[in-house]
Structure formats: structure tokens, C-alpha cells
Structure 1
Amino acid sequence: MDKEKEDAALDETVEMIVANVIRGATEQFIALQKKEKEAEYVAKNIQWTTCKDFTVEGGRQQIEEYISTWEFHESWLHWSEFLCEEELTYSKVYHYRVLWSIPTRRKPIPQATASVYFIIEISKIKP
């Protein structure tokens, strides 16, 4: 009988330990989920120029300023360029490309590149 009582007490202790571990893990998981939701990335923005003050070069410089708010590794280099201007009925559309690469000393000409395209639409009606 003493053996049965010891086994029952041991089982009860094990069940308590397992329940505490599961409760603690669940609480930790919920806390991490909450922290992750609170830490959602907020995109930064810049003060964009008005329609009346817009220039092609100014647009390129503003794209560079906007990119400076991004988080990326210092090994990434980029180069921006104006591609073309498109005349629409009530606006003008300016197309730009930013070319990204990671050149190295061993391979100064990168094996792969990535392009990000920007379109800035300037109203002809609204200054």
C-alpha cells in the first residue's frame, strides 16, 4: 500500500509540474505575440514637395531622401535615375528607377541586382 501511495503522490507532483510548465509556456507565448503586434513596423515618410515646385532632379533627390528612412545593411549600394516623363490629360507622370547591388572587392561587378521603381504623379490642375 505504501508503494501505491508513493506512486499516487509522485503522479500528482508530476501532473502539477507539467501543468505549471504548460501554463508558463502559454503565458510566455501570449506575451511574445502581444509584443510582436505592438512592435509592428511603421513606415517613415518625408515632406514631399508641392506640385508647383516639382522638378525632375528634385524628384530624384526626394526619392533618395525617402530611401534614407529605410533600414538596410550598409553593404547595399544604390543608384537612382530618372527614366521618362509621361504626359496625361490632367497630370504628368515621372518614372524613376533605383538600382541596388552588393559589389565586393573580389567581384566589383555584382552578380545580381535589384530594382525599385518609383512613379511620381504631378497634377496639372492642383498646385
Structure 2
Amino acid sequence: MDGVSPHHTCHVESSALVKASLERHRKKKEDEEDPKHAEVDSPPRLSCEDFTVEFGKEQIETLIQTWGVRSCWRHSLDFLYVTELEHCGVYHYRARFSAPTAREPISQTASVFFGVEVSKFAPRAAPLEIYFVVESNRLVNTSGKHRFRETWLTDVIDSKKRLGAEADL
């Protein structure tokens, strides 16, 4: 498992996604109460009753295709669990990326954790909010607002290799 407990890593990044969701909800409530923000509309979201885990996976796969990572990268995408909050459900997914080569057919992996925020109150036909955190990173990125960088994956893998080399001393 690349020398790092997947449960620990998943918990840290998933907690960041939930915290970000709560902060967005708190800020949205403040904006609604502040008259100078009254005319600002936030984008609507898909309602919980129409959302499925498989639909979330399809949306994340579509997002990953827009990242423009080189074709040498392979990934798998798994649903992890859902966190029910007062205002939404946050569906957690993990994509594991690797770049196998002839010299290293079983390569290290770098994970990207996704939170698909599904509003409990928004209208039915609304776009989803998708957030992602790269393994061992604290920055919560928003799809459509932050540009994914392939170097984030290589940085994670290089860090794991250095850590593994130091542990073998």
C-alpha cells in the first residue's frame, strides 16, 4: 500500500473536503443574510433524490478527462462513503494514479480524493459541485475554478520514493 496507511490518508483528505463543505455552507448563509450579497446567485446543485453513486463516478471521470494528463498515467476510481450534513450529502471518491513503465511495472500511486457535494434543497436539474484534494496536500480545489497540474501526481510519488529510500537505511 505504498507504505502509507490508506485509512489515515483517506481520513485526512476526506476531513478537509467535509470542512470545506461546511465552510461554504456557513459563508452562503452569511451572504444570504447580508443585503449587499442578495443579488448574487450561487450555482444550483443536483438534489439528493436524483443523485446516484454511479452518476458521481461518471462526472468525476469526465472531470479527469479535462485535466490533460499524459497518456502514460493510468487511474482507477472508487466510491468510498457518504457524509450526511444538514445541508447536503458529500459523496467521497478516490482516484489512484500511477504511471507504470518497463523499468517499474508496479509503480507507486498518487491518490486524488473527491467530494461531490449534493444539495438537499436545490432544484432537480442543477450542476454538481465537485471538489478534490491531492494526497498529502491540504488545498481543497474546486472543479472549474482550479486547474489540475500533473506535477502534483509526480510530486506525491517522488515523495513516497524518497521516504521509502530513507526508511530502508
TM-score by length of 2: 0.43
Larger radius of gyration: 1
SS in 2 for 1:120: strand
**Equivalent in 109, 120, 124 of residue 120 of structure 2:** 124
Partner in structure 2 of residue 114 of structure 1 = 110
Q: Distance in 1 between matches of 2:62 and 2:55?
A: 10
The higher-RCO structure (CA 8 Å, 6+ apart) is 2
SS in 2 for 1:67: helix
Partner in structure 1 of residue 62 of structure 2 = 65
Shift of 1:106: 4.1
Residue correspondence of structure 1 range 54-93 to structure 2 within 5 A: 54-93=51-90
Residue correspondence of structure 1 range 1-127 to structure 2 within 5 A: 50-51=46-47, 52-110=49-107, 112-127=108-123
Aligned partners of 2:79 and 2:93 also within 8 Å: yes
Identity %: 49
Shift of 1:116: 0.9
- What are structure 2's unaligned runs of at least 5 residues? 1-44, 124-169
Count, aligned residues? 78
SS in 1 for 2:56: helix
RMSD: 1.6
Shift of 1:70: 1.3
Shift of 1:67: 0.7
* 1:5-31 deviation per Cα after TM superposition (whole angstroms, max 9, x unaligned): xxxxxxxxxxxxxxxxxxxxxxxxxxx
Shift of 1:105: 3.6
Q: Distance in 1 between matches of 2:57 and 2:95?
A: 9
* 1:39-82 deviation per Cα after TM superposition (whole angstroms, max 9, x unaligned): xxxxxxxxxx8324321111011100111111111111111111
SS in 2 for 1:92: strand
Q: Distance in 2 between matches of 1:57 and 1:63?
A: 10
